Amino acid sequence: MSKIADDTQELVIEDVTFDEARMNFNRVLQRLFKNMVDSDSTDGSITLKIDVSLENEYIPNYDPDIEGESRRIQKPKFKHKVSSNITVKDELTGNKNPEMQLVWDEGRQMYVLAYITGTDQRTIFDKDQPWNQEEGEGGQGSLETDPEKAWMNTPLLPGEVADEGALPGEVADAGALPGEVIDGECREVDEEEEHREDDGYSYEEPEDEE
């Protein structure tokens, strides 16, 4: 005996169960093409996602082929989502090569960038430069104007250093200019008077008694 009516539906995307999902898919697909044209994009994508869940339900049993007063049925639910995406590139790029080396800094406990030294190309950061050396390591250890450094006391020319303020010829009086003659009183003294002046005392001749 054949059935009077077919009471089943096929679970296929073309079936009426998925009519709404198909319509939404077609709408989003058309919007995707419009957005790609407006944004001058060459890449896009569309996704249809269908979540399926089963709900258990107990109903009264009137089926003569099934024993019991109730029976369990499973009712599927379908939830769909249609999404689209277009690729519009907007990016900035850069390239930085500092020409420095990566070294470990013990004081900071971190990696730092340091200038490359000790090569044929001399730099102010080379360790053998005088200003980069500590005292006792073969460097100057101070500015060249430091008079306390032994290497500053080396004479520029061999031989004794003459008095730069000395003038050739006889030494003139300290209070006179070169070539100037100092006027003064000149008198003769006898040996006794000279002896008294050498003693540092002043003597006076006694007056003659009348």
Mean pLDDT by 10 residues, the chain (210 residues): 67 93 96 93 94 93 86 93 89 84 92 78 64 57 51 53 56 54 60 56 55
Joined together, the tokens standing for residue 26 give 């077609």
- pTM for the model: 0.43
The answer to whether residues 57 and 72 touch, using CB atoms and an 8 Å cutoff, is yes
Amino acid 31: pLDDT: 95
The answer to whether residues 178 and 172 touch, using CB atoms and an 8 Å cutoff, is yes
Amino acid 115: pLDDT: 81
* Cα→Cα distances 100→54, 125, 134, 150, Å: 64, 12, 25, 38
Quote the CA–CA distance of 137 and 134 in Å, as a whole number: 6
